[in-house]
């Protein structure tokens, strides 16, 4: 997620943890094929404040990892 105008970068479910995300119930599972809009849109729909995204502007980052697959 390097550009706010960039389309979906991931095509399978991925865990997303934005800065201070624990305060808003993150990390959460993001599933791009099931979501409308960008990951930024999804973050806000999931309760992450737009003001936090705006505060970091082009320096906004998230931690990402793929969930462990069940065996």
Among residues 29, 30, 26, 21, the alpha carbon closest in space to that of 52 is found at 21
Average pLDDT by stretches of 10, the chain with 71 residues: 49 93 97 90 97 93 87 61
Range of the domain at 57: 14-65
Reply yes or no: is the peptide bond before residue 27 cis, omega within 30 of 0.
Answer: yes
The DSSP letter of residue 26 is -
In-domain check, residue 47: yes
The DSSP element (H or E) to which 14 belongs, if any, is strand 14-17
Q: Report if residue 40 sits inside a domain.
A: yes
Residue 3: what pLDDT?
46
Overall domain count for the chain: 1
Which tens digits make up the pLDDT trace of 43-62?
999 999 999 999 998 899 99
Q: Is the pTM of this model over 0.75?
A: yes
How long, in residues, is the chain? 71
Classify burial at 10, counting beta carbons within 10 Å of its beta carbon; exposed 0-12, middle 13-18, buried 19 or more.
middle
């Amino acid at each position: 997620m390097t550009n706010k105008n960039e389309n979906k970068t991931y095509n399978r479910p991925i865990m997303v943890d934005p800065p201070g995300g624990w305060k808003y119930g993150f990390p959460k599972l993001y599933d791009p094929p099931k979501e409308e809009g960008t990951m930024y849109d999804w973050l806000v729909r999931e309760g992450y404040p737009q003001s936090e995204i705006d505060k970091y502007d082009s320096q906004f980052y998230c931690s990402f990892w793929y969930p462990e697959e069940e065996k």
